[in-house]
Amino acid sequence: MDRVFVNVQRYGNMSSATVPVALCEALEEGRIRPGSLLLLTGFGGGLTWCAHLVRWGDRVTPLGQSAVELPPCDRTAVELIRDVMTRKKNYIA
């Protein structure tokens, strides 16, 4: 297990976010070194799965932090999704 990083016990299956979240956490914990060979696997509902074999580069720390802040959001996730679906429907029609 010292060569495996697992975070499903903290968050459950987050679908497409599982791999990038685990990668960020492994980097923050210092588990990835320059030149590391990473096998990134994800499993979803049914027979959905993916796997990537990645040779990590020389840099394992960010170049810096951005001072940019996102504006506050006053809509729920459902409202945002409905808005996108409406725009997509109008675009196709």
pLDDT band at 89 (very low <50, low <70, confident <90, very high): confident
* pLDDT per position as a tens digit, 2-55: 888 888 888 887 777 888 889 989 988 899 999 999 999 887 777 888 899 999
DSSP readout, the chain? -TT----HHHH---GGGHHHHHHHHHHHTT---TT-EEEEEEE-STT-EEEEEEE--S--S-S------PPP--S-HHHHHHHHHHHHHHHH-
Which residue did the predictor score with more confidence, 90 or 86?
86
Model confidence at 66: pLDDT above 80: yes
**Contact between 49 and 15 (Cβ < 8 Å):** no
Q: What is the pLDDT of residues 52-63, one digit of tens each?
A: 999 999 987 778
Cα separations in angstroms, 18 against 38, 51, 70, 89:
15, 12, 23, 30
Greater confidence (64 vs 45) lies with 64
Strand partners, 53: 39
Query: Which pLDDT belongs to residue 63?
Result: 86
